[in-house]
Amino acid sequence: MRETKVRKIKACFQPGKRVHLVGIGGVSMRPLGIVLRDRGIIITGSDMNSSVSTEELEAHGIPVYIGHRAENIRGADCVIRTAAAHNDNPEIAAARAAGIPVFERAEAWGVLMQEYRNAICVAGTHGKTTTTGMLTHIFMQAQRDPTVMIGGYLPLLHAGHRVGAGDTIIAESCEYCNSFHNFSPTVAVINNIEEDHLDFFKDLEDIKASFRHFAELVPKRGQIIANGDDANTADALKGLKYLSFGLGEQNTVHPLEISEDWQHCTVLCDGVPYCELDLAVHGKYNLINALGACAVAWYMGISGEDAAEALASFTGAGRRLEFKGRCKGADVYDDYAHHPHEVRALLEAVRTMGYDRMIVAFQPHTFTRTKALFEQFVEELQAPDILVLAEIYAAREQNTVNIHSSDLAARIPGALCFDTLPEVSDCLRSLARPGDIILTVGAGDIYRAGEAICEPEEQQ
């Protein structure tokens, strides 16, 4: 079935063919449109709203329709849709009725990856965006001119994507709905495996089986690169050969002489010094991400000097401990952490930054995740000096499990809970004082609460 679909997609990805992208302004749809256009394919697209993204596409000569209408697909040989465009979308419904093939975004990227000699796909429950960003810095430093698809904003690129002319594509690869099974990795990176997305996966064993299938997509000439310290990853990959990285000395790639702040160490690859890391990002988890990036760079023949220089310049991706501004002398940061273990790693890293008080505004992400991991959230969210909870961000869900942030607040001593983001902002502003760090945390729109309290620069 997959090979038949691949043949159909390849037949549409020929010069002179017309391909329409539904949701073309999305983070991985936009570069897809540009890559296809550069292959001589006629591209049109649609999105709900005009934006910087749609303006960029139009500057590349790609017409973008604002609003979804059946007539937008007229003349298309195939339609590619973002995950948010369902069968009731007017353009998808019209395409199906007209017999025009409709493909998923991940399916299209998987076919395109086959055109690159090196397809580096970065997966894992945590750290995908950061590791993909680190690898982008490294491959740019090494002048490999990569194509990049990343699930967040990278300051180096001024975007979340890059269309290069080299033989390498670096792609963040998400497990949700088994999306990464559509990819064609020559290098599969697995940072870690934990319970998450339990609205789709049955349990942890189901998740591990999904990651194993992803790893098995790597051809014999390729390489699996995985965190050798992570028990779930080791279990998922049992019987497969892989290059391991991690803090433990049993790993092929591991550190020596780690500084107390986790930012400095010597990296050994197969027992030989590869580079001296001097990271600009904080936390044990970011050192592990950097080790994964070093493992890929070493395997791909990039010098340790290039890797070290690139990683020293990496200050994080958007919404990954991102400095936003100041409020009444307090520093305001934002982070995307939305899983209990991500929250723990983030707060442990922030404790090393030397602030007097840590004030955290947390917005749980999806009702099913909050319900499934409730006790873990209760445990990890007791770490801040002051916890402010926003209501759960629904994302794609309805509250069928009858859970609210107030349920978390009832279990966490001293927690404050508010229904709206303006109320969260008012609370944070009233709490702020010099020496504090204020963190907005979550994968929804909690960052707006932090941005709302940041003072203009001239007032700081």
Interior angle at CA 350, CA 344 and CA 227, nearest 5? 50
Which of the residues are catalytic?
128-129, 172
Radius of gyration of the chain measured on its C-alpha atoms: 22
Q: What is the token pair recorded at 179?
A: 């999306």
Name the CATH architecture for the domain at 116-312: 3-Layer(aba) Sandwich (3.40)
Model pLDDT, residue 152: 82
Closest to 290 measured CA to CA, from 368, 191, 209, 169: 191
| Stated pTM of the model | 0.86
Answer whether 117's CB lies under 8 Å from 168's CB.
yes
CA distance 269 to 267: 7
Q: How many CB atoms lie within 10 A of CB 204?
A: 16
Please name the fold of domain 16-105: Rossmann fold (3.40.50)
Q: What string of DSSP letters covers 93-155?
A: HHHHHHT--EEEHHHHHHHHHTTSSEEEEEE-SS-HHHHHHHHHHHHHHTT---EEEEEEEET
Dist CA 300 CA 141 (whole Å): 14
- Superfamily of domain 322-459 in the CATH hierarchy: Mur ligase, C-terminal domain (3.90.190.20)
Residue 209 burial (CB < 10 Å; 0-12/13-18/19+)?
A: middle
Contact 106, 183 (CB under 8 A): yes
The answer to whether the CB of 328 falls within 8 A of the CB of 435 is: no
> Can you tell me the distance from the alpha carbon of 418 to that of 406, in angstroms, rounded to the nearest whole number?
8
Q: Kind of pairing, strands 416-418 and 386-390? A: parallel
Q: Are strands 264-269 and 272-278 parallel, antiparallel or unpaired?
A: antiparallel
Please, are residues 79 and 91 in contact by the beta-carbon 8 Å criterion? yes
Regions in the chain scoring below 50 on pLDDT = 1, 458-460
What are residue 244's DSSP bridge partners?
A: 226
> Which tokens hold the place of 122?
């970065």
The full set of domain ranges for the chain reads: 16-105, 116-312, 322-459
Residue 282 near residue 321 (C-beta atoms within 8 A): yes
SS3 of 353, please? coil
Count other C-beta atoms under 10 Å from residue 158's C-beta.
Answer: 8
CA pair distance 335, 356, nearest whole angstrom: 19
pLDDT at 28: 81
Rounded (10°) angle between helices 284-299 and 340-351: 100
What is residue 386's predicted lDDT score, i.e. its pLDDT? 98
* 208: number of Cβ within 10 Å: 19
Evaluate whether 116-312 and 322-459 have a shared fold. no
- In whole angstroms, give the CA distance from residue 138 to residue 267: 15
